[in-house]
Amino acid sequence: MSTDWDVVIIGGGAAGIAAARQLAASGLSTLLLEASQRIGGRAHTVHVAGHALDLGCGWLHSADRNPWVGIAEASGFTVDRRGPAWGQQYRDLGFSSKDQDASDEAYAAWHGRLMSDLPHSDCAADALEPGGMWNGHLQAMSGYISGAGLEQLSIADYLAYDRASTRRNWRVPAGYGTLIAASLPPSVALGLATPVEAINLEAAGVSIATRAGRINARTAILTVSTTVFVDGAIGLPPELDDWRHAAASLPLGRNEKLFLEIVGNSPFEPEIHVLGNPRNPRTGSYYIRPFGRPVIEAFFGGEGAEVLAEDGPAAGFAYAIEELAALFGADVRRNLRPLAVSNWSRMDHIGGGYSYALPGQAAVRDTLARPFDGRLFFAGEATHRHDFSTAHGAYQSGVRAADEVMAAVRPSAP
């Protein structure tokens, strides 16, 4: 087999772009293949009515150790270091300060049981107080954080993220998606609209089947989401069954966003936040006038995101407007116009929000990250032991996989 490339990176999201950056100066010939018409994957800024809207990642989590901050600043992007308004209920609307204290206590008690009284099941729902009056609220939080109900979550996995988070959250006004898509080095060859259909093992590396033909490579880095990994869209050799099983234990949660434009005189002040209904596990989390813009960003997770994706955009906009009208008064209906909505769970080549581990399965992130036979390497947010579900975790995984490729292709002298 003649090899066309030293490295083929499959998938141009944050992980694939990070791998490309790391390989750019290595001297190894590198091709990045991306199934869709654009790079960025779950990092996607759209421009609607003059507003930059992040349909996917928006917050630079653990910002004080997030590599995208340095990349942003080195490339001339502004980083807004103000902390987020989440966690605050504007003027206690629909959520009295007494109830906020009670729900905080319920969260702290649940979290305390995770730490000290770890259920054998490793299932986060087993640490709920039976019949607890804030259980719906905790389920909504789980939806935002993990994209799934507590019944589906591994405690060990949840705690790994929680312990590693520095709780600093910053933003890029131009959009996190804009930053990530702008960060692919021009020296790396790019094939857009080129879905990989199969990967086969060959004596001298791998062959990669695409609609445009076969590409031979010494090594490949697979960065696709866990949904894509298991849905059969890419034919994989049986030797990779352990990786496929690992991906199946790390499903993508449901996470969707919806944006409303604010028109006319309204009571919406800049940089404020409300939960629609703190007792409803499906409720939206509304970030009002981010950066002072006349926009509301609604975030749905778990059950709420599922309903949004299934009932369609019109029902989703109506639901968000009703939740806001219940808090700010019926008149605000006149101030709100639909702008944009995501549908990650049904998007080809993505298939969901971000990964969580099923109970008992936290360790399989390491299985998914393991290289195979010095020629296949794995990256993507789900492969990160504690920064999974983020764009910086995806970045770090891409750098790690690129380093593994370089070590495999150029073994160090004895």
Ligand X SMILES: Cc1cc2nc3c(=O)[nH]c(=O)nc-3n(C[C@H](O)[C@H](O)[C@H](O)COP(=O)(O)OP(=O)(O)OC[C@H]3O[C@@H](n4cnc5c(N)ncnc54)[C@H](O)[C@@H]3O)c2cc1C
* Max CA separation in the chain (angstroms): 75
Indicate left, alpha or beta for 271 from its phi (over 0: left) and psi (-120 to 50: alpha). Answer: left
In this structure, is the dihedral angle defined by the CA atoms of residues 13, 299, 312 and 51, taken in order, positive or negative? negative
Residue 349 lies near ligand X (rule: CB under 6 A): yes
Interaction between residue 277 and ligand X (CB under 6 A)? no
Residue in 261, 48, 82 with CA at minimum distance from that of residue 173: 82
Single out the residue of 137, 257, 282, 375 in contact with ligand X (rule: CB under 6 A). 257
Which residue, 128 or 254, is less far from ligand X as judged by CB?
Answer: 254
Per CB under 6 A, 344 contacts ligand X: yes
| Rg, the chain, Cα only | 22
- Binding segment for ligand X (CB under 6 A), chosen from 77-85, 181-189, 255-263, 401-409, is 255-263
Q: Per CB under 6 A, does 354 bind ligand X? A: yes
Which member of 23, 217, 234, 260 binds ligand X (CB under 6 A)?
234
Rank residues 122 and 256 by Cβ distance to ligand X and give the closer one. 256
Number of C-beta neighbours around residue 365 at 10 A: 24
Residue 103 or 183: the one with the smaller Cβ distance to ligand X is 183
CB of 175 to ligand X, least distance (A): 11
CA distances from 349 to 83, 165, 168 (A): 33, 28, 30
Q: CA–CA distance from 322 to each of 94, 274, 295 (Å)? A: 13, 13, 16
Closest C-alpha to 53, from 182, 185, 171: 171
Among 154, 223, 266, 396, binds ligand X (CB under 6 A): 223
| Smaller CB separation from ligand X, 154 or 389 | 389
Q: Are 38 and 44 in contact (CB under 8 A)?
A: yes
Alpha helices (runs of H) in 194-261, residue ranges in sequence order: 226-230, 241-248
Helix (H, G, I), strand (E, B) or coil at 80: strand
CB of 229 to ligand X, least distance (A): 9
Interaction of residue 308 with ligand X, rule CB under 6 A: no
Q: How many CA atoms lie within 13 A of 79 on its CB side?
A: 21
Taking the least distance from each CB to ligand X, the nearer of 258 and 336 is 258
CA distance 221 to 371: 9
Task: Check residue 253 for interaction with ligand X (CB under 6 A).
Answer: no
Rule CB under 6 A: say whether 225 interacts with ligand X.
yes
Which position among 31, 56, 199, 405 is part of the footprint of ligand X (CB under 6 A)?
A: 56
Residue 22 within binding range of ligand X, rule CB under 6 A: no
Candidates 103-111, 200-208, 270-278, 349-357 — which segment interacts with ligand X by CB under 6 A?
Answer: 349-357
Minimum CB distance to ligand X, residue 17 (Å): 7
Region 1-20 residues binding ligand X, contact defined as CB under 6 A: 10-16
Q: State in angstroms the smallest separation of the CB of 361 from ligand X.
A: 18
CA atoms lying within 13 Å on the CB side of residue 147: 23
Site size with ligand X, rule: CB under 6 A? 43
3-state DSSP percent of the chain in helix, strand and coil, to 5? 40, 20, 40
Which position among 57, 215, 258, 295 is part of the footprint of ligand X (CB under 6 A)? 57
- Print the binding letters for residues 370-409 with ligand X: x by CB under 6 A, - otherwise: ----------xx-------xxxx-x---------------
- Spell out the residues 6+ positions from residue 217 whose beta carbon is closer than 8 angstroms to its own: 3, 4, 5, 6, 7, 8, 31, 205, 206, 207, 208
State the residues that interact with ligand X by CB under 6 A. Answer: 10-16, 33-36, 41-43, 56-59, 61, 195-196, 223-225, 228, 233-234, 255-257, 342, 344, 349-350, 353-354, 380-381, 389-392, 394
